[in-house]
A = this chain, B = another copy of it.
Amino acid sequence: MKPGTGITLREIAERLEGELAGDHGNIVISEPASLREAVPGNISFLAHRRYLKDLQETRASAVVLPKGVSFDRLPSIRVDDPHFAFAQLLHLFYDLPYQSKGVDERAIVGRGVQIGRDVTIYPYVYIEEGASIGDQVMIYPGTFVGKGSLIGDHSIIYPNVTIREGCRIGRRVIIHSGAVIGSDGFGFVPYKGEHHKIPQMGGVIIGDDVEIGANTTIDRATIGNTVIKRGTKIDNLVQIAHNVSVGEDCVFAAQSGIAGSTQIGSHVTMAGQAGVTGHIRIGDQVTVAGQAGVTKDVKEGQTVAGMPALPHREWLKAMAVFEDLPELKKKLSELGNRIEEIERIVGDKKGGDGYGHKRDSKDPSP
């Protein structure tokens, strides 16, 4: 929409696939806002029951509510998932219609580059020969696209991204500034005390609807491809090494890293600063806790934490004791003293030498 024009409640309900409660479809909404910050003309939403009080007091003109909540002070749209509806609302109100700016004459496009319809290629973009750019792709200034690389329709490449040669980027992919796709895998052969480079001949394949964070690095494969599958979202400063394969709909938080040749399933979550070693397999639906270090295969559905990573519950139990270690050590020492005392008494009774605590316990004879 254009700022200031507004959208009717009926249109919003249709877009959210929600049910409009009552006969208020013609109300014009100016923009979304939180329950507390909303003013008349705004639409708001209930994200969690703990905000029910804010709902009672909001000045919004309409609200998006989960289906079960009883509330009729204001016009409402009833949906299954208000969080998802909130994201849709933001798109509805703030997404500007795409307008192609074409290929700027100060961009450099190599021989044989295929350019789709309605693209926007900014100045200072450099596209090498044989690359292919899909329809409505936006490429911001300072971005490099190497020989023969492909960028699918509707993708957005922000400023100062490097996509090296022979990489395939899917449709609706978003690559944030400073990200590097297709840098050489870190492969060397030690020989006579020096490290000799293994040529990195492979590529990178990024599936549809993937998002790649700022300054994240995804190395090309030695042979074959490093693969990130459809729908996976990668945060800033993440390292994906050569020949890694990542499944669909994963979420990798900032500063996490995956070492070479590891295979990651689908719907895997990596929290911030977590690391996974090379040449292992992480099953579907696995969650790796923040700063965890995964050193061996993890089966489907597990949550792991710690370094080396353990099943989350075991790690929590061990960490709970870790905090008490000084206390444990003290108790152990006390028990030792008490045993010594007992040994003295018992030993006295059976003629011991008073040094029971130094006796070899495997030899019970004094």
Residue A318 interfacial (CB < 8 Å): yes
B177 touching A231, Cβ below 8 Å:
no
Per the bound structure, the CA–CA distance linking A320 and B328 in Å amounts to 12
Contact A239:B219 (CB < 8 A) given known A142-B160, A162-B158: no
Residue A356 interfacial (CB < 8 Å): yes
Per the bound structure, the CA–CA distance linking A180 and B235 in Å amounts to 13
A361 touching B332, Cβ below 8 Å:
no
A20-28, A67-75, A190-198 - interface stretch: A190-198
Residue A170 interfacial (CB < 8 Å): no
Per the bound structure, the CA–CA distance linking A215 and B332 in Å amounts to 50
Per the bound structure, the CA–CA distance linking A213 and B215 in Å amounts to 12
Question: Range of interface residues on chain A?
Answer: 35 or more
B122 touching A141, Cβ below 8 Å:
no
A160 touching B186, Cβ below 8 Å:
no
A141 touching B159, Cβ below 8 Å:
no
Chain B residue contacts of A144, Cβ below 8 A: 140-142, 159-160, 177
A342 touching B339, Cβ below 8 Å:
yes
Residue A108 interfacial (CB < 8 Å): yes
Per the bound structure, the CA–CA distance linking A323 and B304 in Å amounts to 13
A255 touching B257, Cβ below 8 Å:
yes
- Chain A 86-121, CB-CB to B under 8 Å as 1, else 0, gives 111011001100000000001010000000000000
Min CB distance A14 to B, Å, is 18
Docked complex: A139-162 residues within 8 A CB-CB of B:
140-142, 144, 158-160, 162
A5-13, A55-63, A130-138, A343-351 - interface stretch: A343-351
Chain B residue contacts of A94, Cβ below 8 A: 199, 201
A196 touching B87, Cβ below 8 Å:
yes
A328 touching B338, Cβ below 8 Å:
no
Residue in B closest to A162 when the chains form the complex, CB atoms: B177
Chain B residue contacts of A331, Cβ below 8 A: 332, 336
Residue in B closest to A85 when the chains form the complex, CB atoms: B189
B267 touching A193, Cβ below 8 Å:
yes
B195 touching A249, Cβ below 8 Å:
yes
A164 touching B183, Cβ below 8 Å:
no
Chain B residue contacts of A227, Cβ below 8 A: none
Min CB distance A9 to B, Å, is 20
Per the bound structure, the CA–CA distance linking A235 and B346 in Å amounts to 65
Residue A167 interfacial (CB < 8 Å): no
Taking A95-B199, A308-B319 as given, write out 14 further A-B residue pairs in contact, using a Cβ cutoff of 8 Å, ordered by the A residue number.
A34-B223, A81-B191, A83-B191, A126-B141, A176-B180, A186-B213, A188-B251, A195-B249, A235-B239, A236-B239, A237-B257, A306-B307, A314-B323, A318-B323
Question: Can you report 29 residue pairs joining A to B where beta carbons are below 8 Å apart?
Answer: A83-B191, A87-B198, A90-B201, A108-B124, A108-B141, A142-B162, A162-B214, A177-B183, A178-B215, A186-B235, A186-B236, A195-B249, A195-B251, A197-B211, A214-B219, A215-B217, A239-B254, A239-B272, A253-B259, A275-B290, A291-B291, A321-B326, A321-B328, A322-B325, A325-B325, A335-B335, A338-B361, A345-B346, A345-B364
Top 3 nearest A-B pairs (CB, nearest first) are A162-B177, A337-B361, A321-B325
